[in-house]
Amino acid sequence: MKNNRKEFLKQIGLAGLGLTGASKLLDVNQSYKKDHFQQAPGQRFNMHGYAAPALETVRVGLIGIGSRGSGTVRRLAGIEGVEIKALCDTVSERVRATIDSISQFPQHSPHSYTDGPDAWKKLCERDDIDLIYIATPWHLHAQQALRAMEHDKHVYMEIPAAQTIEECWQVVETSERTRKHCALVSSSCHSGLNAVTLNMVRQGFFGELVHGEGNYVHDRISNRNRWVRDPDNAYWFGYRPWRLDENIGRNGNLYPQHGLTPLAQMMDINYGDQMDYLVSVSSDDFSMGPLMEELAAEDDYYKPYVGKNFRGNMNVTIIRTHKGRTIMLQHDISSPRPGSRFQLISGTQGISRHYPVPARIATSHDGWIPEEEFHSLEEKYTPEITKRFNELVNQAADADRENLRSYARVNEMDWRLIDCLRNGLPLEMDVYDAVLWSAITPLTEWSVANRSNSVKVPDFTNGAWMTNERGMDINLGKGGATTMLI
């Protein structure tokens, strides 16, 4: 299978290049097969619905201890049945500070890996770790996930799972062959109003779904303090040097997952419906280039960035599914707009709009339902997973929870991941979700580079989406929900 896929990629000129390179090779006027981003070989093993053997204690190693990584250590440390075994980062001070931050939990005594950029490989090779969390620069995610699974570890990683279509297929193949889970950390329908809306969708409140919209709109320009380099943190700045580099020479939706994931779960993507094709268009860059010129006048570090080809301010992508539904995604981190992620879901009998706040629901063109009725529906459709998690939070002894940064507080997604692993239940977000949501980026890059031509979305389930059982067990029908919060 592996050799066949490599040969296929060679034939279409994509092997080793990914679609970023491919966009430079494939001219819009060049003839090509409509399915040239697909893979023909069949599925080795279906990871959707797969329940790995139960783990009484989930032993965790974490790679990448920056702001996200340190917050995740704190989150996982507060879940029953978790043991933090190892932490890895190229900056030793971050690891030491993170270990100090969980000193209140005596069950954790993690080993440090800080001896160079390849130290993470040693962590993967340990035989006393069950789950590896990855929060490193994007270009490292796929190779680190592959190595972790090859060494008999489940994977839980920050977005994206991969940066090229070839990497996406490698992640799928490895997960299927090793039978190790590979799940993505992303906004989802595990919590809050997203969970309520998913429950309403599944109980038919909105009728047949027609359209959804999701964004990653997050102004990174206006706050100039984010661009001041910190001598106490390896001279990094708030936006991160590696992430700035990701915005050069690439033009597409670079961060689709937060807006897309709730929509995909509401539309049963990968288990009942599947993406068919997409089109994508980007504006010019009106902000990043001028910002680099301003910063370079104050700090020589930014001079090499002057004149670079930055991605456009706004990217708009439209996806059509096999069932005829549409999804619109937007990506803009360069404009002074209020932030938004999951935007709205619309059906034949109603609509739920989450942004701008306050969230609203309508069932006709006459207008939004009254606030009192909205809250009544919210209470009625709150799913069991939310009720159970709130009970656990109220029972927990962590008095500092509300004082922690948002990404350092235990959330439903982390808790449910650990709960499923401890109870031997299928994960609610699997490898097919991880790679599909990640594949949107290189596919949009190709479309933008080819005058917004449509491109077929690969089916990483190899047709299993037509028979897969519905995922996201928000009403806990399969059990579990036994893991406590500390």
193-232: pLDDT as tens digits: 999 999 999 999 999 999 999 999 999 988 999 999 999 8
What are the pLDDT digits (tens) for 34-45? Answer: 455 666 568 899
Count the helix, strand and coil residues of the chain and give each as a percent rounded to the nearest 5.
Answer: 35, 15, 45
For residue 65, give the nearest of 247, 233, 185, 254 by alpha carbon. Answer: 233
Per-residue confidence (pLDDT) for residue 2, from 0 to 100: 45
The strands making up 275-282's β-sheet, listed across from edge to edge, are 360-362, 351-353, 340-347, 209-217, 326-332, 315-321, 275-282, 455-456
Per-residue confidence (pLDDT) for residue 36, from 0 to 100: 53
Residue 100, pLDDT > 50, answer: yes
What are the pLDDT digits (tens) for 256-311? Answer: 999 999 999 999 999 999 999 999 999 999 999 999 999 999 999 999 999 999 99
For residue 17, give the nearest of 446, 435, 440, 315 by alpha carbon. Answer: 446
33 falls in which pLDDT band (50, 70, 90)? very low
> Maximum Cα–Cα distance for the chain, whole Å?
63
The residue that leads in pLDDT, 394 or 352, is 352
Average pLDDT over residues 312-331: 98
* Paired tokens of 40: 């023909």
185 secondary structure, DSSP code: E
The residue that leads in pLDDT, 245 or 399, is 245
pTM of the model: 0.92
Q: What are the start-end ranges of the H helices in 285-430? A: 288-296, 371-380, 384-395, 412-423
Per-residue confidence (pLDDT) for residue 235, from 0 to 100: 85
* d(C-alpha 176, C-alpha 170), whole Å: 10
What are the pLDDT digits (tens) for 152-173? Answer: 999 999 999 999 999 999 999 9
State the average pLDDT for the chain.
91
* Paired tokens of 339: 């932030």
Per-residue confidence (pLDDT) for residue 349, from 0 to 100: 98
Residue 8, pLDDT > 90, answer: no
The fraction of the chain above a pLDDT of 70, given in percent, is 89
Per-residue confidence (pLDDT) for residue 402, from 0 to 100: 59
What are the pLDDT digits (tens) for 104-155? Answer: 999 999 999 999 999 999 999 999 999 999 999 999 999 999 999 999 999 9
Per-residue confidence (pLDDT) for residue 396, from 0 to 100: 87
Per-residue confidence (pLDDT) for residue 401, from 0 to 100: 56
88 falls in which pLDDT band (50, 70, 90)? very high
Average pLDDT over residues 54-68: 95
Average pLDDT over residues 435-459: 97
For residue 191, give the nearest of 354, 339, 68 by alpha carbon. Answer: 354
* Paired tokens of 169: 């297929």
- Within 13 Å, how many C-alpha atoms sit on residue 476's CB side? 17
179 falls in which pLDDT band (50, 70, 90)? very high
* d(C-alpha 458, C-alpha 292), whole Å: 36
Average pLDDT over residues 388-414: 76
Provide the 3-class DSSP secondary structure of residue 326.
strand
* Paired tokens of 135: 């929060």
For residue 328, give the nearest of 216, 453, 201 by alpha carbon. Answer: 216
* d(C-alpha 105, C-alpha 77), whole Å: 7
Residue 27, pLDDT > 50, answer: no
Q: How far is CA 19 from CA 24, 155, 252, 317, in A?
A: 9, 24, 11, 16
* Paired tokens of 345: 């879901």
229 secondary structure, DSSP code: -
Q: Are 341 and 187 in contact (CB under 8 A)?
A: yes
Written as one letter, the residue type at 331 is H
Among the ranges given (232-246, 422-436, 450-464), the one the predictor scored with the smallest mean pLDDT: 232-246
